[in-house]
Amino acid sequence: MQEKETDIALINAVLAGNTNQYALLVKRHQKFVFTLAMRFAKNREDAEEVAQDCFIKAYKALGTFKQTSKFSTWLYSITYTTAMTFLRKKRLDTQSINDDENVLQIANSGSNFDADSYEKKSSYVYLNQAIDLLLPDDAAIITLFYKGEQSLEEIGLALNMAPNTIKVKLHRARQRLKEKLQYLLNDEVKELI
C-alpha cells in the first residue's frame, strides 16, 4: 500500500506543476514496462520505442488517472494498448527480401547450436525463450501475473477484460507455455515444472 500512496503522491505533485516528479514514476516502472513491451516487440529497439511512447502517453493522460486502481495497473494498460497498436502498424510495414539484416538472420538460423551460450543457459533463460514463443496476449498475461505480480483483477483492468476471463486465459497460457518449454527442453521440462 505504501508504494501506491507514493505513486499517488508523485502524480499529485506532477499535476500540481512539479513535472520533475514524473521522472521518479518513470524510473520506478520503466523496467517492467520495458519487459512487457519486449514481450510484444521481440527486439530491443522496438521495445524501447513502445516503452517511450507509453510513458509519453501516460504523462499526457495523467490527469485522467482516477486512482481507483494502482498506477502500475493503469500504466500497464497503456503499455498493452500501445504495444498492440505498434504490432498492428508493424504488420502493415513490409520489408525487402534483399535487406542485409534479413539475409544475416536467414544465414544464422541454419545452426541451432552455439557452444558459448549453451553452457550459460539456465532454466530462467529457457523460460523467457518459451514466453517469447507465445502469442502476445499469452505472453502479456504470463508476464503481468508472474513477473509483475499483478492480481487477476489488476490484469483484467489493464487488459480491459473480466477477472474470470483472465483466469481462463492464464490457465490456457500456462498450458501453451508448458508446450513451448517441452519443445525447447524435451525431457528437462519435468525439472522446471
Cell digits of residue 47: 521495445
Is residue 93 very low, low, confident or very high in pLDDT (cuts 50, 70, 90)?
low
Mean pLDDT of 62-75: 87
Quote helix, strand, coil % in the chain, to nearest 5: 80, 0, 20
| Least confident window among 86-90, 107-111, 175-179 | 107-111
pLDDT of amino acid 5: 56
More confident of the two residues 74 and 102: 74
pLDDT of amino acid 53: 93
pLDDT score of 192 more than 60: no
d(CA 78, CA 57): 8
94-151 pLDDT tens trace: 444 444 444 444 444 444 444 344 434 456 677 777 888 888 888 888 888 888 788 8
pLDDT score of 83 more than 80: yes
5-18 pLDDT tens trace: 588 999 999 999 99
Give this prediction's pTM: 0.58
**Type of residue at 2:** Q
Is residue 190 very low, low, confident or very high in pLDDT (cuts 50, 70, 90)?
low
Q: What is the mean pLDDT of the chain?
A: 78
pLDDT of amino acid 151: 87
Contacts by residues 135-139 (CB-CB < 8 Å, ≥ 24 positions apart): 135/176, 136/39, 136/40, 136/83, 136/84, 136/87, 137/169, 137/173, 138/169, 138/172, 138/173, 138/176, 138/177, 139/39, 139/40, 139/173
Q: What share of the chain in percent tops pLDDT 70?
A: 76
**Type of residue at 24:** L
- Domain annotation for the chain: domains and CATH numbers: 1-95 (1.10.1740.10), 113-193 (1.10.10.10)
pLDDT of amino acid 193: 55
Nearest CA among 44, 27, 23, 26 for reference residue 35: 44
**Per-position b or e across 161-177, b if 16+ CB within 10 A of its CB:** beeeebbebbeebbebb
Q: How many separate helices (H) and strands (E) can be counted in the chain?
A: 11, 0
d(CA 182, CA 164): 27
pLDDT of amino acid 185: 73
